[in-house]
Amino acid sequence: MKLSLLTILLGAGMSVPQIYGLARPKDFAAAVRKFPRNYTIGIVLMLLFAGYIAAWALLHPYKTPPRESASTLGQKVYAARHLIPAVLLIAAVIGSIYSGVATPTEAAAIGVAGALALAAIGGSLSWASFAASVMGAMRTSCMIAFILAGAAFLTVAMGFTGVPRIMAEWIGAQGFSAAHLIVVLTVLYIILGCFIDGISLVVLTSSAILPSVKAANIDLLWFGIFMVLVVEMAQVTPPVGFNLFVLQGLTGKNMFEVARAALPFFFLMVAAVALIWFFPELVTFLPGRMFNLR
């Protein structure tokens, strides 16, 4: 279960603005204005994942930590005294991005400075710990960079063969109904996601797919959320799922064990696609009421 949770926590890498910034640059501004729709699907996924974890814990009580004695609110706050500053730092970094105060790169610098300040205040900052942190970050960054380089090489090879474009054009020529089109596209992106990273998947197929999506009268912002889901599915599908490689490097587990741990969450994301198809209000109603969209 720990491995499953780590695999999912590494996901959520793409958003609706990114999808449309890559696929349809002229739609990017509209996507940013309606970005809050992303929050709702995040809540849906959170409830699905939390429900599965709760059910798993009830069915496997012998694999869960022992129940602790009840504690008061004051005791809980005291126990979390070292966690609260880290949460505030995360909120500051994310808040600076969404408020427009800082760019993502500047926010990263804020995060580094804040982490160093917290370490200094906590008395854990020393040259040895600083060097160990830098080396740890360098090893992880180099590992991810090599994974991305390998994925880029495979993407170029796939693009050179023309397979993604041909498959997308074939689907577009079939004249599927909206429901059939979504089912076929889900299968297509799952298959291609086994061999191509998420951003390249969007770039290689969007120009051939979007005309069919428009012809089927599918809401483009809804389709953007659908793309986020299927691209995140691609991150946990072997043999080249990005999250799987990262978890393999971090945990030392073999690829099959990591993929098996992520499989239940993959099916939950498939269930999320079905939910937002049958109940599109899940990703449109709340933002529409909050921000007067559409």
Tens digit of each residue's pLDDT (9 = 90 or more) over 212-237 = 888 788 887 788 788 888 888 877 87
Report how far residue 270's alpha carbon sits from residue 236's, in angstroms, rounded to the nearest whole number: 12
Report how far residue 17's alpha carbon sits from residue 31's, in angstroms, rounded to the nearest whole number: 5
Percent of the chain with pLDDT over 70: 76
Of 140-149, 222-231, 253-262, 284-293, the range with the lowest mean pLDDT is 284-293
Report how far residue 281's alpha carbon sits from residue 122's, in angstroms, rounded to the nearest whole number: 46
Q: Which of the pair, 165 or 193, is modelled with greater confidence?
A: 193
Yes or no: say if 92 and 110 are a contact pair by the CB < 8 Å rule: yes
50, 108, 197, 23 alpha-carbon torsion, rounded to 10°: 100
Backbone angles phi, psi at 70, to 5 degrees: -65, 145
DSSP 174: T
- What's the whole-number mean pLDDT along residues 156-160? 72
**Cα-based distances in Å from 163 to 56, 166, 196, 205, 233:** 40, 5, 11, 10, 20
**pLDDT score at 6:** 47
Backbone angles phi, psi at 136, to 5 degrees: -65, -45
Yes or no: say if 174 and 185 are a contact pair by the CB < 8 Å rule: no
Instruction: Say which residues have a Cβ less than 8 Å from residue 245's Cβ, sequence separation at least 6.
Output: 147, 255
Q: In terms of Cα–Cα distance, which of 158, 147, 149 is closest to 196? A: 158
Burial class (CB in 10 A: 0-12, 13-18, 19+), 201: buried
Q: Which of the pair, 232 or 292, is modelled with greater confidence?
A: 232
Q: Report pTM.
A: 0.65
Most confident by average pLDDT, 7-16, 266-275, 284-293: 266-275
pLDDT band of residue 147 (cuts 50, 70, 90) is: low
Is 70 exceeded by the pLDDT of residue 278?
yes
